[in-house]
Amino acid sequence: MDNKTKIYLVRHGQTEWNVKHKFQGHQDSPLTDMGIKQAQWLEEAIRNEQIDMIYSSSSLRARRTAEIIRGTREIDIIESDDLREINLGIWEGRTQDEVKELYLEAFNDFWDNPEKFKVENSETFRQVSDRAINMMRQTVNDNQGKSILIVTHTVVVKLIMAYFEGRQMKELWNPPYIHPACLCKVEIDGDQSKIILHGDISHYKEEPSLG
Catalytic residue among 79, 85, 92, 123, which?
Answer: 85
Global pTM?
0.97
Output the pLDDT for position 208: 74
Backbone φ and ψ of 3, nearest 5°? -100, 10
Catalytic residue among 12, 26, 153, 198, which?
Answer: 12
Output the pLDDT for position 156: 98
User: Is there a catalytic annotation at residue 12?
Assistant: yes
Output the pLDDT for position 210: 58
What distance in Å separates the CA atoms of residue 142 and residue 121, rounded to the nearest whole number?
Answer: 33
Output the pLDDT for position 1: 54
Stretches in the chain below the pLDDT threshold 50: none
Output the pLDDT for position 209: 66
